[in-house]
Structure 1
Amino acid sequence: MPEQSPFDLAEGDPFGPHNLPYGVFSTADAPDRRRLGVRYGDSVLDLSALPSALPAAIHPHAELLAAPTLNPLLAAGRPVWRQIRAAVHSAVTDPAHRDEVAPLFHPLDGVTLHLPFEVADYVDFYASEHHATNVGRIFRPNDAALTPNWKHLPIGYHGRAGTVVVTGTPVVRPRGQRKAPAGEAPTFGPSLRLDIEAEVGFVVGAPSTLHEPVGLGAFRDHVFGVCLLNDWSARDIQAWEYVPLGPFLGKSFATSVSAWITPLDALDEARTAPPARDFPLLPYLDDAGAEPGGIDIRIEVRVNGETVSRPPFSTMYWTAAQQLAHMTVNGASLRTGDLFASGTVSGPDPDQLGCLLELTQGKGPYLQDGDEVTLTAWAPGPEGARIGLGEVTGRILPTG
Structure 2
Amino acid sequence: MSVPIAFGSTGHGVAARRGDTVLDLGRVARHLSSPHEAVLAGPTLDALLAAGRPTWDAVRESVEAWFDDAELVERFGHPIDEVDARLPFTVADYVDFFSSREHAENLGRILRPGQPALQPNWLSLPVGYHGRAGTVVASGTPVVRPSGQRPGGPLAAAGESSFGPSRKLDVEVEVGFVVGGSSALGSAVPTSAFEDAVFGVVLVNDWSARDIQAFEYVPLGPMLAKSFATSLSAWVYPLAALEAARVAPPARERPMHPYLQSDQEWGLDIELELAVNGTVVSRPRFREMYWTPDQQLAHLTVNGASIRPGDLFASGTVSSASPEGYGSLIELTRNGEQPVKISSGETRAFLLDGDEVVITATAPAPGGGRFSLGDVRGRIVPASAPHPTLQSKEEHS
User: TM-score normalised to the size of structure 2?
Assistant: 0.91
Query: Is residue 22 of structure 2 the alignment partner of residue 44 of structure 1?
Result: yes
Structure 1 residue 180: Cα displacement: 3.2
Aligned-pair identity in percent equals 56
Residue of structure 2 equivalent to 1:25: 10
Q: Give me the whole-angstrom Cα distance separating, in 1, the residues matched to 2:270 and 2:350.
A: 26
Q: Give me the whole-angstrom Cα distance separating, in 2, the residues matched to 1:182 and 1:286.
A: 50
Given residue 45 of structure 1, which amino acid in structure 2 is its aligned partner? L
Work out whether residues 3 and 19 of structure 2, in 8 Å CA contact, stay in contact via their aligned partners in 1. no
Work out whether residues 153 and 161 of structure 2, in 8 Å CA contact, stay in contact via their aligned partners in 1. no
**CA RMSD in angstroms, aligned pairs only:** 1.3
Q: Give me the whole-angstrom Cα distance separating, in 1, the residues matched to 2:374 and 2:177.
A: 13
Structure 1 residue 54: Cα displacement: 3.8
Residue of structure 2 equivalent to 1:64: 39
Given residue 271 of structure 2, which amino acid in structure 1 is its aligned partner? R
Structure 1 residue 101: Cα displacement: 4.0
Work out whether residues 16 and 22 of structure 2, in 8 Å CA contact, stay in contact via their aligned partners in 1. yes
Residue of structure 2 equivalent to 1:110: 82
SS of corresponding position for 2:361: strand
Query: Is residue 347 of structure 2 the alignment partner of residue 366 of structure 1?
Result: no
Residue of structure 1 equivalent to 2:194: 219
Q: Which of 221, 237, 254 pairs up with 2:229?
A: 254
Structure 1 residue runs of 5 or longer lacking an equivalent are 1-11, 27-33
Structure 1 residue 42: Cα displacement: 1.8
Residues 60-106 of structure 1, C-alpha deviation per residue, up to 9 Å, x if partnerless? 1101100111011000001000001001111223xxx3224420101
Query: Is residue 293 of structure 2 the alignment partner of residue 293 of structure 1?
Result: no
Given residue 181 of structure 2, which amino acid in structure 1 is its aligned partner? A
Residue of structure 2 equivalent to 1:208: 183
Residue of structure 2 equivalent to 1:6: none
Q: Give me the whole-angstrom Cα distance separating, in 2, the residues matched to 1:136 and 1:173.
A: 26
SS of corresponding position for 2:225: coil
Work out whether residues 277 and 356 of structure 2, in 8 Å CA contact, stay in contact via their aligned partners in 1. yes
Structure 1 residue 18: Cα displacement: 3.6
Work out whether residues 258 and 392 of structure 1, in 8 Å CA contact, stay in contact via their aligned partners in 2. yes
Work out whether residues 53 and 100 of structure 1, in 8 Å CA contact, stay in contact via their aligned partners in 2. no
Residue of structure 2 equivalent to 1:282: 257
Matched residue count? 370
Residue of structure 1 equivalent to 2:342: none
Work out whether residues 53 and 101 of structure 1, in 8 Å CA contact, stay in contact via their aligned partners in 2. no
Q: Which of 177, 182, 199 pairs up with 2:174?
A: 199
Residue of structure 2 equivalent to 1:169: 141
1:343-358 aligned within 5 A:
343-358=316-331
1:238-253 aligned within 5 A:
238-253=213-228
Residues 115-149 of structure 1, C-alpha deviation per residue, up to 9 Å, x if partnerless? 00000000000000000000011111121110111
Q: Give me the whole-angstrom Cα distance separating, in 2, the residues matched to 1:18 and 1:223.
A: 21
Q: Which of 313, 326, 339 pairs up with 2:299?
A: 326
Given residue 342 of structure 1, which amino acid in structure 2 is its aligned partner? S
Residue of structure 2 equivalent to 1:75: 50
Residue of structure 1 equivalent to 2:394: none
User: TM-score normalised to the size of structure 1?
Assistant: 0.90
Structure 1 residue 183: Cα displacement: 4.6
Residue of structure 2 equivalent to 1:5: none
Q: Give me the whole-angstrom Cα distance separating, in 2, the residues matched to 1:66 and 1:20.
A: 18
